[in-house]
Amino acid sequence: MNWINGFEIMCYFIVLILVADILKKKNYNELGLLISGALAGFALELLAVRFTGIYHYSKDFFISIGFEPYQFPFFGGLMWGGITVCALRIANKFSLGNFMTALLSGWLIVSMDLLLDVAAIRLNGGFWVWEGRPITLNISHNMFMSVIWVNFLGYMFEVPAIVYMTLKSWEKNGESNVNVLKSLLIGAGGVLFVGIASAVALFLNKITDEWFSSIAFVLLWLFIFVKLIITLIEKREKIILKSKKDPALLIFWFSMYAYCIAALFKLKIFAALPLYGIFAFILFLLTMALALIDFEEAV
């Protein structure tokens, strides 16, 4: 089995575990978030491959939707929903307020994506292909090892938008049964926000020779990272190892990082860029640690 189909099967498996966990806990708010994220993921990807002309997906996936060359692998939309839920499970531990919780959720996903996308465009001809972009290990204001910066910045538009709207909805409605219409509206709101924000980013890229997305993403990523570290330091005396683990959360994040790291080793990218390898392992260990810990509540 090739790396493309191996990843596809793994993703179906870990999303299934997550959905089973959500249903077991009767956490219908999370199920609604998963639906919103998945709907936004499907819509954004299908619109992007059809109208931007920036990239197209491989034909080798087992299940795709849409017509060539504008198809999108079905598991990808499910993963948008699943990984959004798993990011929020971690971000919610910090009690940072809705806005920063939403940003931290996006940061957790895009940090993993800094590894996944580098591997994905190189494995078995590429999960997808960036049109007219050479495959190199160069890092510049145009690309991060052949991945365009606006791709990463897009995660920082989509995920926080979906999470923020969801959190505001939870504040208003509390625990409830799954409201498909509400999930659809939140997903549509995320698509609209990302469409506008991405259009602005692409325009600013055009007039700045792509400097805008690279600078905006790096500054935003560093801001959230520094905020995370400061929060951990401030709350260090309240950090506890969770007595009741979250197997679905651990399996999800471990599987994603293990796949990325194995693929990057296979591609010999860590050998070519040792500092990138150190960066990858730091992100892996930090994310797994955040999945394992909690904060002691004040008595």
Count other Cβ atoms within 10 Å, centred on residue 59: 11
- Within a 10 A sphere around the Cβ of 27, how many other Cβ atoms? 16
Cα torsion through 276, 250, 154, 215, rounded to 10: -40
Q: Coil, helix or strand for 20?
A: helix
Q: How far apart are CA 250 and CA 60, in angstroms?
A: 29
| 119-173: pLDDT as tens digits | 999 999 999 998 888 899 999 999 999 999 999 998 899 999 999 999 999 887 7
CB atoms under 10 Å from CB of 266, counted, come to 13
End-to-end CA distance of the chain: 53
The helices-and-strands tally (H runs, E runs) of the chain is: 10, 8
**Coil vs helix vs strand at 130:** strand
CB 261 within 8 A of CB 115: yes
143 vs 53: CA distance, rounded Å = 17
Burial 212-231 (b: 16+ CB within 10 A, else e): bbbebbeebbeebeebbeeb
Three-state SS at 144: strand
The residue assigned the tokens 């790291």 is 261
Q: Which residues, in sequence order, are CB contacts of 207 under 8 Å at separation 6+?
A: none
Q: Which one, of 19, 249, 33, 285, lies nearest residue 159 by Cα?
A: 33
Cα gap 69→89, rounded to integer Å: 36
pLDDT per residue as tens, the chain (299 positions) = 799 999 999 999 999 999 999 999 999 999 999 999 999 999 999 998 988 888 999 999 999 998 888 999 999 999 999 999 999 999 999 989 999 999 999 999 999 999 999 999 999 999 999 888 889 999 999 999 999 999 999 889 999 999 999 999 988 776 566 677 888 899 999 999 998 998 899 899 999 999 999 999 999 999 999 999 999 999 999 999 877 889 999 999 999 999 999 999 999 999 999 999 999 999 999 999 999 999 987 54
Could you give phi then psi for residue 164, rounded to 5 degrees?
-60, -45
pTM of the model: 0.95
Phi and psi at residue 179, to the nearest 5°: -110, 100
Give the three-state DSSP class for 128: strand
